[in-house]
Structure 1
Amino acid sequence: MTTVKTLLGLPGLRLRPRAGTDLLDRPVTRIYVTELSDPGRYLSAGELVLSGLLWWREPGDAEPFVAALARSGAAALAASGADSDGIPDDVVEACERHRIPLLEVPIDLSFSVVTEQVVLALAAASDGARKRLQAAADAPVETLLERASTELGLPCWVLSGLGRVVAGVTPLPMPVEEVVRRYAGQEPGPLTLLPVEGGHAVPWLIAVGGALSTAQAELAEELAGLVGVTRARAARPEGELPGEVRVVALRTEGSDESRDVLRELLPGGLLLESAGETSFAATAHWPTEAATELSTVEPLLRAKRILCGVSAPAPRDEAWATARYTLEVAARRAGRVTVVPSNEVDAHTLLLAGAPAGVRAALRRRVLGPLLEYDAEQHTDLVHTVRVFLECSGSPTRAAKALHVHVNTLRYRIGRAGELLGADLTEFTDQLDVYLALRAGDQPG
């Protein structure tokens, strides 16, 4: 990495520090020559600004110029005297005030020589940085990031498209979900983002804490390639999970991304089956933030919807069957991302979700047929009355209150419905059959 101090050691330049001597470790990324009185719009962070001070006419002129350097994050100002008296005092004072290192260029030294020497130093540093980074190619991601951060002079992170920080040298300065959202929408932000190589459905991102020069961007791309190799090398081998497990069923409607998404969601899981849109995996740990993570990655995928069903801990075959049913429950709910754990599904709903649409329709017709026909012919709504009655645990008083009718009216309607159904709606087994048939109609085919 080239720093301001590095430039002081370049042979033949004879640069002399005049201000900011405690700031000489600042990295230099490029050189920019200007004689504008306010060059702010043309400056970038990390630049060495070279000026002959032709814009300086009188005391006070230095303030807007140096302030612009400070706002842009310039690394330093290298200047030759505006006249034979050398650098004006107010330029030195402004640099001290705005904490901009000031290097005095000998008045007999051509700016073309300074520019050439600095460019060569930056090129040599860039080449050395790539070689030092490549030397750590077999190291863990954390080591790669530390090396890259040192070479770039900027903090670095590796982020998962699920909204997880895979590794980082410091705490991320903003929510990781916000970083992924900005990347998905190609929105500008305070971080520079590059995709990690590898072509996974769930991308990893390199995030760098600032704007990059051309040389820095090349080094960041080198980092992205090395992290991609490390990610592929660290792919978890298949194994076995002992004891009871959760099984997770995940469907990416309209795409074959389910396998990659499930592997990223459950890095310690065991893939059980994968068939394009739908994959199953067993896991000892279910992330409580899974719904948020899937919502974060959804804009980065081709899938029209992401559906997920999760079993409770159980023997694998039992958990697998439960996950399959909860996935069907998820498929019948609205939303682009739907996650349904089994504990959110009533037992009868879980059973009905696993039944084919034809079986559910046959159950409804066989049990409720006479009542449905009566309602259609008489323009009544006994089906609704029966449902409210059963959802009130068979209490005439509660059901009558819910329907805003007299309790005797409610009893008459329930009796009439029972006659039509050939069932005793005060008996538990008959109530169960009728309620299952009613709920079967809630399950879209």
Structure 2
Amino acid sequence: MRLRELLDTDELGLLLLVGADAGDEVLDRAVRAVPVIDLADPGRFLSGGELVLTGLAWWRGDGDAEPFVRVLARAGVTALAAGEVEHRLVPHDLVRACRRHGLPLVAVPPETSFSAVTEHVLRRLHRREVGSLAAVVERHRRLLADRAAPDSVLELLRHSLGLHVRVLSSTGRRIAGAHPPPHPRTAAALAARYLAARRAGERAPHRVTVGERPYSLLPVAGPAGPASELGDWLVVVEADVSRWPAADAELLDRVGELLGDARRAHEEAKAALRDLAGRSLELVRGDGPAEEIPVRLRSTAQSVVSGVAHWPRCQYVVADGAPAGALRVLLEEALVEPDGPVPVSPLDIAATVEGERAVLMVLMPEPAPGVDCAALQRRLAAALSRWLGPAEAVSAGVSSPVGDPGNARRALDEAHNALRVAREAPERVAVRGPGDLTAHILSLLPLIPADARRAFAARHLGPLRDHDRLHRTDLLGTLEAFLACDASWTRTAARLHLHVNSLRHRITRIERVTGTDLTRLETRLDFLAALRAG
């Protein structure tokens, strides 16, 4: 039964002293047993879910409540009910300790006996056991009919055990379950513990304590594969389930099986989307006439994406630098984060692998502006922080959104060009988009093959380097400063601590050595490009 039902029973006269400000989360806690305990260390008698009744015979003064309440909180009891007979009130020391540990505290008035509370709970539990089978069967029927909805599955645990359980991805993203999601640091710690246990071959449940709170982590069965650990789902229970009664543990196992059905349904839908991405990529990359691509792409989309009557507006993302299968999963995770780079769901992403690259088609809702490259870079960097070695780097390129399938080839090429620009970036994880291709003419340098860039730089700068080496001058440094100061004589002279006439003499010498005219904009751009390329 629920704690709120006890508190609403007028004949018992119970009063909630600690926990009222937490609202429904406290009132909906389940009561599965009602032991009477007056030992200072009751831990060995607790398994979680109890309404502990105490007459406070163990309390003698301030400080006694802290160790008693700490044991109850760690055991996962539902609430503590303190009788007022012994001291005529509930000590403030006990109230403070319960507040510190987040344990609901109920006052039992002198006229209410513990036996009355116990009998009331047992009568309710007995009546519910008689009628529970039909309710459980009905819930299972609904859950099996809606197996693709993990939130529906977790309702079984909430109704049966009063537990708020979550399903997270192996990167810590909330997939289903209680709101709000765990704090990002907590989610990251839980995911890291799960992956470490999985790689070590530990047997579930995996136990971990984060911020003095115990958690149990259990895997959700799903398809195997080379990148499967990155696509794993894990059940997160804020309790030590190893101490649960056998019946509760069995129920958790059954819920895990239902969640496995939900995950498999999700993977089937993702497989269809991967097929869409693969087939559309073949069409875009193929040698067929460009005018045939719209018809074929439109037909492919209609046959795979349920309910789509036309080729959907989409955006391409390509990435490399890590194993393509793992990178595909991590990109999907980064894109669907709440308040992330783009408002899409996992079923809005058609992802595939092309050689050593991950290629994603993000099906864009209207009127979404497109992927936020800076946000995607932050999310992807956070997800990759545990995977990249010191010398590894990941790059990603993003295209403009495209609504006409006839422009799909252009969009994919744009994404690959942005990927080339990203590879030249200083960050270990870099994402670049269409804006980075047009923001500055020099941003197009990475699109030129490296050998051609080096030859261009050597042709323009080689004479200056040779002159500086032979005559111990610094004409190349003077040229760099001159271009950095936008060819301003006064600013360049001040930067180099020269008189303007001395600077003019140096620039004239540069022009003679290179056979160029630095008053021409084209010449200055050539030298600037050579400096960037070399």
* Paired position in structure 2 for 1:367: 460
Give 1:75-224 correspondences, 5 Å limit. Answer: 75=78, 89-90=85-86, 98-99=105-106, 104=114, 132-133=139-140, 135-139=142-146, 140-161=149-170, 164-172=173-181, 174-175=182-183, 177-186=184-193, 188-189=209-210, 190=213, 192-198=216-222, 199=228, 201-212=230-241, 213-214=243-244, 215=248, 217-218=252-253, 221-222=256-257, 224=259
Query: Which residue of structure 1 lines up, in the alignment, with residue 330 of structure 2?
Result: 261
CA distance in 1, matches of 2:313, 2:478: 43
The 1:227–1:357 alpha-carbon spacing in structure 2 relative to 1, beyond 3 Å, is same
- Change in 2 beyond 3 A, CA 1:317/1:209: same
What amino acid sits opposite 2:221 in the alignment? E
Aligned residues: 407
1:309 aligns with 2:330: no
1:257 alignment partner, SS class:
helix
Amino acid at match of 2:429: V
Q: Tell me which amino acid in the other structure corresponds to 1:440.
A: A
Structure 1 counterpart of 2:319: 250
* Distance in 1, Cα, partners of 2:491 & 2:443: 27
Of residues 221, 229, 244, the one that matches 2:264 is 229
| Post-superposition offset of 1:367 | 2.0
Indicate which of 316, 322, 331 corresponds to 2:414. 322
State the alpha-carbon separation in 2 of the partners of residues 226 and 261 from structure 1: 23
Residue aligning to 1:290: 376
Q: Residues 40-85 of structure 1: CA distance to partner in whole angstroms, max 9, x if unpaired?
A: 587554236599x9x9589989x84975676455236799xxxxxx
Taking the aligned partners of 1:193 and 1:401, their CA distance within structure 2 comes to: 64
Paired with 1:295 and 1:308, the residues of 2 have a C-alpha distance of: 11
Please state how far the C-alpha of 1:337 moved relative to its aligned partner: 2.8
Measure the CA separation in 2 of the matches of 1:74 and 1:327.
54
Q: Distance in 2 between matches of 1:193 and 1:395?
A: 64
Q: Provide the residue aligned with 1:36 in structure 2.
A: 39
Shift of 1:88: 9.3
Cα shift at 1:405 = 2.0
Q: How far apart, in 1, do the equivalents of 2:40 and 2:2 lie?
A: 25
**Contact in 2 for aligned 1:392/1:398 (Cα 8 Å):** yes
Which of 489, 501, 505 lines up with 1:408 in the alignment? 501
Task: Pick the structure with greater CA Rg.
Answer: 1
| Displacement of 1:196 | 3.7
The residue number in structure 2 matching 1:47 is 50
Supply the distance in 2 between the matched residues of 1:38 and 1:255 (Cα, whole angstroms): 54
1:307–1:338 CA contact under 8 A, matched in 2: yes
SS of the equivalent of 1:136 reads: helix
Cα contact 2:35–2:52 (8 A) shared by 1:
yes
**1:399/1:24 CA distance change after superposition, 3 Å:** closer
Q: How far apart are 1:426 and its partner, in Å?
A: 1.2
Structure 1: which 5+ residue stretches go unaligned?
Answer: 8-16, 80-86
Match of 2:77 among 74, 83, 87: 74
Q: Which residue pairs with 2:22 in the alignment?
A: none
Q: Tell me, in whole angstroms, the C-alpha distance in 2 between the residues paired with 1:327 and 1:196.
A: 35
Query: Counterparts of 1:381 and 1:126 in 2: how far apart (Å)?
Result: 89
Q: Which amino acid aligns with 1:311?
A: S
128 and 37 in structure 1: CA distance in 2 versus 1, 3 angstrom threshold: farther
What secondary structure is seen at the aligned counterpart in 2 of 1:307? strand
Output the CA distance in 1 between the equivalents of 2:170 and 2:191. Answer: 9
TM-score where L is the length of structure 2: 0.61
Change (3 A) 1:392 1:220: farther
Contact 1:70 1:100 in 2 (8 A): no
In the alignment, the residues of structure 1 paired with residue 385 and residue 140 of structure 2 have an alpha-carbon distance, to the nearest angstrom, of 32
Q: Deviations over 1:227-266 (max 9, x none)?
A: 4224224426325585875432222425631222334445
Q: Is the 8 A contact 1:46 1:74 kept in 2?
A: yes
Displacement of 1:313 = 4.2
SS in 1 for 2:430: strand
Structure 2 counterpart SS, 1:282? strand
The CA distance in 2 between the partners of 1:68 and 1:19, in whole Å, is 26
- Shift, 1:159, TM fit: 3.6
Task: Note closer, same or farther for the CA distance 1:286–1:149 as it changes in structure 2 (3 Å cut).
Answer: farther
Distance apart, 1:37 and its partner CA: 2.5
CA distance in 1: counterparts of 2:466 and 2:137, whole angstroms = 79
User: Structure 1 pair 307/180, CA: closer, same or farther in 2 (3 Å)?
Assistant: farther
Change (3 A) 1:264 1:144: same
Shift of 1:182: 0.9
Structure with greater contact order relative to length (CA < 8 Å, sep ≥ 6):
1
Letter of the 2:189 partner, please give it.
R
Offset at residue 130 of structure 1 (A): 9.1
For the pair 1:384 / 2:477, whether they are aligned, the reply is yes
Quick one: structure 1 residues 375 and 310, their matched pair in 2 at CA, closer, same or farther if it must change by over 3 Å? farther
Cα distance per residue 1:394-425 (max 9 Å; x no partner)? 22223223333222222222221121112111
> What does residue 421 of structure 1 align with?
514
C-alpha distance in structure 1 between counterparts of 2:5 and 2:137, whole Å: 18
CA-atom RMSD in angstroms: 4.6
Percent sequence identity is 29
Contact 1:245 1:313 (C-alpha < 8 Å) held by counterparts: yes
The residue type equivalent to 1:323 in the other structure is A
CA–CA separation in structure 2 for the residues paired with 1:127 and 1:374: 93
Aligned to 1:338: 430
